[in-house]
Structure 1
Amino acid sequence: MDGSKLKVFVDFDGTITSEDVGDAIFREFGDLKDVEKIIEELHNGKISSRQCWDLLCNSVKKINENELLLFIDKMNIDPTFKSFVNLCDENKITLFILSDGFDYYIKRILNREGLSHLKYFANKLRINEDKLIPEYPYFNPDYPVSANPKQYHIINNSSDDDYTVFIGDGNSDKDAAQYCDYIFAKNYLLKFCERERISYWPFKDFNDVSERIKELLSKKRLKKRHQAQIKRKHAYEAE
């Protein structure tokens, strides 16, 4: 199997990182009672991701940037992620990070880990007069639930000839995963796949993913997931 035919899309918070960095920031710097209520409303489908981020940013009355950066620097990544990146690089597998979180911490963490070459798509966050200002460059009214609809990036960065792989764990991954041929899931995404009877592989860390990817590379021919093909076909036709 030619590795260049594989396109891998990876969630950031809770998948590449050991915990959800975005949620952790607001629990640390926002009003905890308000933050928990806002996150709960997101998970219950009462508010959209974009509404959630707006409310969370408003919950932080004043931010000290140095304190924020020190907090971000405490956030760890899965120690097996780098070896997975190496596997992809060695086999000419294109890897994209898709996040419904913010570039502010993603860029800093990737730079710290020597992974600044990885391409990512995320919401933007800036600080102005000690206030957190979110921006949504990829917001699409066709996908109003997401601030940064990951399926949009999957469609734009793969072709009909590619075999798509999604790796994720959270609520923001459930729509995007359905557009991919091979799904690696844990936590919320795993439960969603089981409930919707979507085929997936469970994983604990990127060593598990690497072993499966090696199996795919060893095969002469791969199969596409039929339901994912249908979803991508409709999306290609709509463009």
Structure 2
Amino acid sequence: MKKWAFVSDFDGTISKKDFYHLVLEKYFAEGHDLYKQWKSGEIKDIEFLRQVFTSINQEESQIIDDIHSLEIDGHVPSFIRKVQAQGGDFYILSAGTDYYIHHVLQRHEITDVKVYSNEGYYKEKNVHMNIDPEHPHHSERYGIDKSKVITDLKNEYETIYFAGDSEPDSHPAKVADVTFAMKALQAILKEHHTSFIEVNDFTDIDRYLTNSGVLC
């Protein structure tokens, strides 16, 4: 069994803005009513994202330019390298789609990171998701069940560190050994009585792991 791994959410945790927010702002203003339906629980997360991602109607070069415009936490690339240098593995776990995540990783020259997410692909001016109901990590609500991924990883590693920022991250937070919570996730985990470490960004996470002797 390997010693440890760090697993991070992508949208709003590594990236400063969720990709769906960018699409709503640039291409799908009428999607704000859909957003309200989603937040009120009328439609599932995956249904919301499917409709948003298929409302872009742009050439792939434009979509990739938009993806590249997503700002990420500036400390993430060096943090990932530090984790890997200390013998840890780094994973990204996202209920969005791997389509834009891989473009961001390439943009920032981040390598040797496995992405667990809903499979995405470009077709007919939009981003589509290939959701397999038979996949062992399938979730009817999110497309991917983050807690199932963490549970599987715990069979490979002694310790799993996890970072997230929003409601979908509350489920894997219950399974991970140590959870770093940002933004809305902090209040959600308090409400659920799930233990976590309050952080603002990856600089805070780096400081905590360095002080704990995990990183040096």
Relative to the length of structure 1, the TM-score reads: 0.80
* Distance of aligned partners of 1:136 and 1:25 in 2 relative to their CA distance in 1, 3 Å threshold: same
Instruction: Tell me the secondary structure at the aligned position of residue 191 of structure 1.
Output: helix
Percent identity between matched residues is 21
How far residue 79 of structure 1 moved from its aligned partner, in angstroms, is 0.6
1:62-211 to structure 2, matched below 5 A, reads 62-137=57-132, 143-159=139-155, 162-211=158-207
Deviations 1:17-76 (A, max 9, x none): 11112331243222x12x22222332332222221122223444x322222122112111
For 1:15 and 1:141, locate their aligned partners in 2 and report how far apart those are by CA, in whole Å: 21
- Larger % of helix: which? 1
Aligned length: 213
RMSD: 2.3
For 1:98 and 1:51, locate their aligned partners in 2 and report how far apart those are by CA, in whole Å: 19
For 1:96 and 1:118, locate their aligned partners in 2 and report how far apart those are by CA, in whole Å: 5
* Distance of aligned partners of 1:111 and 1:132 in 2 relative to their CA distance in 1, 3 Å threshold: closer
Q: Which amino acid aligns with 1:19?
A: K
For 1:73 and 1:110, locate their aligned partners in 2 and report how far apart those are by CA, in whole Å: 10
For 1:16 and 1:142, locate their aligned partners in 2 and report how far apart those are by CA, in whole Å: 23
For 1:164 and 1:129, locate their aligned partners in 2 and report how far apart those are by CA, in whole Å: 39
Instruction: Tell me the secondary structure at the aligned position of residue 119 of structure 2.
Output: strand
Deviations 1:150-171 (A, max 9, x none): 1121122222861221101012
Are 2:34 and 1:52 equivalent residues in the alignment? no
How far residue 137 of structure 1 moved from its aligned partner, in angstroms, is 4.3
Corresponding residue of 1:17: 15
Q: Quick check: which has more Rg, 1 or 2?
A: 1
* Distance of aligned partners of 1:191 and 1:151 in 2 relative to their CA distance in 1, 3 Å threshold: same
Q: Unpaired segments of 5 or more residues in structure 2?
A: none
Deviations 1:68-98 (A, max 9, x none): 1221121111011122112211211111100
How far residue 141 of structure 1 moved from its aligned partner, in angstroms, is 8.6
Are 2:210 and 1:214 equivalent residues in the alignment? yes
How far residue 10 of structure 1 moved from its aligned partner, in angstroms, is 0.2
Relative to the length of structure 2, the TM-score reads: 0.88
Q: Unpaired segments of 5 or more residues in structure 1?
A: 219-239
- Larger % of strand: which? 2
Query: Structure 1 segments of 4 or more deviating over 6 A?
Result: none
